[in-house]
Structure 1
Amino acid sequence: MLNSLSIQNYALIDHLKVSFTNGFTIITGETGAGKSILLGGLGLVLGNRADLGALRDATTKCIIEANFDVEKYDLKTFFEENDLDYEPKTIIRREILPSGKSRAFINDSPVTLDVLSQLGDSLIDIHSQHQTLQLADNDFQLKVIDALADNSALLLVYGDQLVSYQKSEKSLKKLLAFQENATKEYEYNSHLLKELETAPLKQGVIEELEEQYEQLSNVETIVEQLSKGHQLLNDEQVGVLTAMTELKLASNKLATFGSQFETLNERILSAFLELDDISSELDVLQEKTEANPLLLEEINSKLQLLYNLQKKHGATDIAELIAIRESLSEKVSATENVALDIKKATQELVTKEKDLEAIALKIRENRIKIIPVLQKQLTESLSQLGMPSASFKIEIHPSEIFTNKGKDALLFLFAANKGSSYGDLKKVASGGELSRIMLTIKAILARYEQLPTMMFDEIDTGVSGEISNKMGDIMQAMSTTMQVFSITHLPQVAAKGASHFKVFKEEEGMITNTKMKKLSSDERIIELAEMLGGKNISDSAVAHAKQLLG
């Protein structure tokens, strides 16, 4: 409920602060006194767009602040999702700066107008005679029926499953799109992968092949140098091993004359053995090394293949080629497996669709059962409001698609008179009839769910005294479970309020101010008497006013 409202520097309002209570609150005032200004200020704090021209003093900012009791509205999730501090007594503030910028705050946290508007929709429903388009909205019509049908729990389950279904549907579409694109690339990717799989891709392979290529390309030089080395070691006249043999014999004789000679002998012997081993290896390498044109050609082919693959794929080394091969392998494998994934995803979607259909069907069954109840309540209420022949024809037609409200489309038809054919509600009902229908529907809704604060702005315009009396009764009945405001010109309605505020203009020097005050019991009598008979209050008007107030 709305606990208090403060407005500074807005239109004809210099400073206004007023507190409200629960129940039925009446707001009256002469035409032009500023009731629309009050609603405009309230609209700003609920998320309406700001107009710089609304500033009373263009050099000072406008501040509008409203204090709400939100404990009954189950809004904790909304506050959490928008990273806001939840307070049972929530303060909303709107500022319009002289620069034209606008700022909004919820419990002192800055918010966007979108967030403010979402919260505002949950806190106050401002309804005037000209705001009846909601009646023709399919979602609003379903909301009314679902409230009576007690579908809230089912709709929560349905909503969760709808999200899951939509995710699966999106996943399947993604797989199908992938398959369509991947199939076009499959053959090309398979060809590239086959090329890379037949290539000898391993770390160091190019260095290894280049070494083999160099050896096979220079066989004659290698054999010649190996032979020369072997000859230098083994020549009978001047060979190194021949000289080392003589040196070994001499060192053996020296070894018997002391430890230092023995150590020298060991070193000479070690050098001899190493040279002898080198000689053997030179001999073996010379025997193994031979020309092999076929192997040379094979190695050259492998090198050229690797060089070409590096160039083709823009790779700087073998590691990058290996990474490209793995990537292509994944793409080809994914394309080959996507058919299986699509089949699995399709089966999953079909299962979820069946589950969703079952819940939607249960929701529809509940709606169908409650429609006669709703039609009866509407007809009876409208009969009391001067529409005795009004009747409704509400039809449910299965929809082709899942919506956030189920799988139904509503046909909400209306006939104002006996013998009249049923037609689209917004086309066949007059403005006054639409106002009474909306009031009736809101009253019915109030019996089944917690509604936000309701503010009726001259909804009773153009109706007779007796009908306005009935409309007042309905609003008064609604106020037993919720906060209801009525801005009215009719004394029959004004008399039914638990509290009564008057909006008026007051001239202070050359400046006109719009003000608002709560009326005392005596002041209410005077206000009602003026509403009944004008400024020149008669005794009969006062008596009538007292009678209306009971």
Structure 2
Amino acid sequence: LALLFGGRASAELIRAGADRARVAAVFEVAPDAALRSVLEQAGLELDGDELLVEREILSGGKSRAFVLNRPATAALLRQLAPHLGDIHGQHDQQRLFLAEAQREMLDAFAAHGGLLEEVAALYERWRSVVDQLAELERAERERLRLADLWGFQRREIETAAPALGEDAALEADRRVLRNIVSLQEHAAAAYDSLYEAPNSALAQIRQGWRRLEEISRIDVSLEPLRDSLRSAEVALQEAAHELRGYLGRLEADPARLEQIEARLALLERLKRKYGPTLEQVLAFLSKVRADLEALESAEERRGRLERQREELERAYQAASGRLSESRHAAARRLERQIEAELEELAMGRSRFRIELEAAEWTAHGADRVAFLISTNPGEPPRPLEKVASGGELSRIALALKTCLARADRAAAAGRTLVFDEVDSGVGGSAAETVGRRLKQLAAADQVLCVTHLPQIAAFADHHYYVAKREEGGRSVASIEELSAEARVRELGRMLSGRRLTEEALRHAEQLLRLARG
């Protein structure tokens, strides 16, 4: 059942030698709008009053779920579980000692409407703003520590005012000024070769053109070649003109060279400090400017966040205050109902109290919930774990489960309530009262009870016997519904142990008559 209610699946549940385990159940469900809503949201439609739920565990540890023969998720099974049933075992009794579990039970009984969700949402928003303020203060402290450094870095870069690609252009100018003499000599020699020398390239082309001019009058096919030389002459003249201009511009300038060297040294220092390239230096400047602007705007942002925090604090205090009021009112009702249930369970002199104290803000409100009980007259109520014996704890757990089942607005009557070892620590007349209370619960819900006490088993409408035996070297579990005669014998065995006596059989018959009465 726990698997069908979305519990954790484990490959350890698979029988040795098998490749999978499978469990299935058919639930007869009453008309329940909430249940049908859950199914509709999952794209499932309930036709009739039977709901088939299946779970399969594969050898790798993965599991598959099916609802109405359609694939489903374990999350959907957990959503359906409150509408189908509830399981109460010894582990749940231990949870009674936990403050968190006690708060959850009080809230389940109270049915606060949307208050819990409202408080949780307000808390998350408030926590987010508080965290943002803390981060802002941390970042601001760090920025204040670095503000002087950032200011110096910004001034240093802004004073230098580097331009993208400036270093490459300056390095080109420096190469020219460093090699001015060599450039002048080679450029002058090139100019002579092109234009000035008696046998310059231009003179040779002109001489070739004249000869072609003469012979092209005889052979006109040479005219294109003659024209090509004319074009070459023009190109050489233009090249010589540009070269002469270049020579005119070439001039040694030690002051300019010194200026370039100083500028490049400055840019090199910037690149060593802030990035290997000027592009990265400028990117660093942009970041420093942004950090300084953020420091200047931090006060404004802090003010905005503090206003939000104050508004959310007022809203949370109002909502958590309403939640506390609802819890206090529910606590008084639950106290009365629990004491009434305990009286039915032979603990009529007990006093059950629910103590609520102011606590730190949480997503669940600002209350600390504690269940207290006094099982002896004259003794003040104290925490469950300090007072209740095992048998008393079992009956307190049953009383709580009964009250919660009655108050559960989400679940329709007809759920399956499973009590596993609810009789732990219980015996004698107390066991009879537990059995009688379970019988009353079964008037509205289906109650499955795993018990070793005949006083409880006698109250059941149906008695099943579970046995484990060995077959072929393997353990085999079986379950069978007992007939009236077999039931008497089983109750007698539970009373007398291995040896069934006539006295035990008479006592078993007496228990059954008492339960029916």
TM-score (norm 1): 0.69
Q: Indicate whether 1:535 and 2:495 are aligned.
A: no
CA distance in 1, matches of 2:401, 2:384: 16
After superposition, give the CA deviation of every residue in 1:475-532 in whole Å (9 maximum; x if it has no partner): 2233345443323354443232132112457798999977542112332244345556
Structure 1 counterpart of 2:183, from 222, 230, 246:
222
Q: Indicate whether 1:448 and 2:407 are aligned.
A: yes
Which residue number in structure 2 is paired with residue 145 of structure 1?
A: 106
Structure 1 counterpart of 2:396, from 437, 444, 448:
437
Question: Helix, strand or coil for the counterpart of 1:395?
Answer: strand
Which residue number in structure 2 is paired with residue 478 of structure 1?
A: 441
Contact 2:390 2:424 in 1 (8 A): no
The verdict on how the C-alpha distance between 1:147 and 1:120 changes in structure 2, with shifts beyond 3 A counting, is closer
Question: Helix, strand or coil for the counterpart of 2:379?
Answer: coil
Which residue number in structure 2 is paired with residue 67 of structure 1?
A: 24
Taking the TM superposition and a 5 Å limit, the aligned residue runs for 1:11-410 are 66-68=23-25, 89-92=52-55, 103=61, 105-107=63-65, 125-128=87-90, 132-192=93-153, 194-197=155-158, 198=160, 200-203=162-165, 205-227=166-188, 235=196, 263=224, 266-312=227-273, 315=276, 317-321=277-281, 334=294, 337-402=297-362, 404-410=363-369
The verdict on how the C-alpha distance between 1:276 and 1:91 changes in structure 2, with shifts beyond 3 A counting, is same
Contact 2:360 2:366 in 1 (8 A): yes
Which residue number in structure 1 is paired with residue 70 of structure 2?
A: none
CA distance in 2, matches of 1:65, 1:302: 82
Question: Helix, strand or coil for the counterpart of 1:498?
Answer: coil
Structure 2 counterpart of 1:545, from 484, 491, 512:
512
Q: State the shift of 1:120 in Å.
A: 13
After superposition, give the CA deviation of every residue in 1:298-332 in whole Å (9 maximum; x if it has no partner): 221232234444444573x5555555555555555
The verdict on how the C-alpha distance between 1:233 and 1:307 changes in structure 2, with shifts beyond 3 A counting, is same
Which residue number in structure 2 is paired with residue 31 of structure 1?
A: none
CA distance in 2, matches of 1:60, 1:286: 98
Question: Helix, strand or coil for the counterpart of 1:408?
Answer: strand
Which residue number in structure 2 is paired with residue 30 of structure 1?
A: none
Q: Given residue 516 of structure 2, which amino acid in structure 1 is its aligned partner?
A: L
Which residue number in structure 2 is paired with residue 425 of structure 1?
A: 384
CA distance in 2, matches of 1:320, 1:289: 34
CA distance in 2, matches of 1:3, 1:499: 24
Question: Helix, strand or coil for the counterpart of 1:202?
Answer: coil
The verdict on how the C-alpha distance between 1:236 and 1:499 changes in structure 2, with shifts beyond 3 A counting, is closer
Q: Indicate whether 1:457 and 2:421 are aligned.
A: yes
Question: Helix, strand or coil for the counterpart of 2:176?
Answer: helix
Q: State the shift of 1:409 in Å.
A: 0.9
The verdict on how the C-alpha distance between 1:351 and 1:371 changes in structure 2, with shifts beyond 3 A counting, is same
CA distance in 2, matches of 1:161, 1:417: 43
The verdict on how the C-alpha distance between 1:252 and 1:504 changes in structure 2, with shifts beyond 3 A counting, is closer
The verdict on how the C-alpha distance between 1:524 and 1:391 changes in structure 2, with shifts beyond 3 A counting, is same
Contact 1:138 1:410 in 2 (8 A): yes
Q: State the shift of 1:107 in Å.
A: 3.5
After superposition, give the CA deviation of every residue in 1:70-107 in whole Å (9 maximum; x if it has no partner): 89997999xx99xxxxx964445679x9xxxx946453
- Equivalences, count: 485
Q: State the shift of 1:446 in Å.
A: 0.4
Contact 2:467 2:478 in 1 (8 A): yes
Contact 1:529 1:545 in 2 (8 A): no
Greater RCO (Cα-Cα under 8 Å, separation 6 or more) = 1
CA distance in 1, matches of 2:508, 2:198: 154
Q: Given residue 402 of structure 2, which amino acid in structure 1 is its aligned partner?
A: A
Which residue number in structure 2 is paired with residue 523 of structure 1?
A: 486
Contact 2:455 2:511 in 1 (8 A): no
TM-score (norm 2): 0.73
After superposition, give the CA deviation of every residue in 1:204-245 in whole Å (9 maximum; x if it has no partner): x43322221122223344345555555666659667667777
Contact 1:199 1:306 in 2 (8 A): no
Question: Helix, strand or coil for the counterpart of 2:252?
Answer: coil
Contact 2:115 2:323 in 1 (8 A): yes
Which residue number in structure 2 is paired with residue 415 of structure 1?
A: 374
Which residue number in structure 2 is paired with residue 493 of structure 1?
A: 456
The verdict on how the C-alpha distance between 1:299 and 1:460 changes in structure 2, with shifts beyond 3 A counting, is closer
The verdict on how the C-alpha distance between 1:252 and 1:459 changes in structure 2, with shifts beyond 3 A counting, is same
**C-alpha RMSD of matched pairs (Å):** 4.9
Contact 1:413 1:422 in 2 (8 A): yes
After superposition, give the CA deviation of every residue in 1:334-383 in whole Å (9 maximum; x if it has no partner): 55555544444444444444433333222212112222211211222222
Contact 2:416 2:448 in 1 (8 A): no
Which residue number in structure 1 is paired with residue 69 of structure 2?
A: none
The verdict on how the C-alpha distance between 1:540 and 1:140 changes in structure 2, with shifts beyond 3 A counting, is closer
CA distance in 1, matches of 2:347, 2:175: 107
Contact 1:3 1:68 in 2 (8 A): no
CA distance in 2, matches of 1:3, 1:392: 34
CA distance in 2, matches of 1:397, 1:67: 45
Q: Given residue 536 of structure 1, which amino acid in structure 2 is its aligned partner?
A: E
Q: Given residue 339 of structure 2, which amino acid in structure 1 is its aligned partner?
A: T
Gaps of 5+ in 1: 5-44, 82-86, 109-113
CA distance in 2, matches of 1:236, 1:529: 139
Contact 2:351 2:374 in 1 (8 A): yes
Contact 1:468 1:492 in 2 (8 A): yes
Q: State the shift of 1:411 in Å.
A: 3.5
After superposition, give the CA deviation of every residue in 1:237-292 in whole Å (9 maximum; x if it has no partner): 66766777788788888888886676566445444443443444344333333232
CA distance in 2, matches of 1:438, 1:477: 16
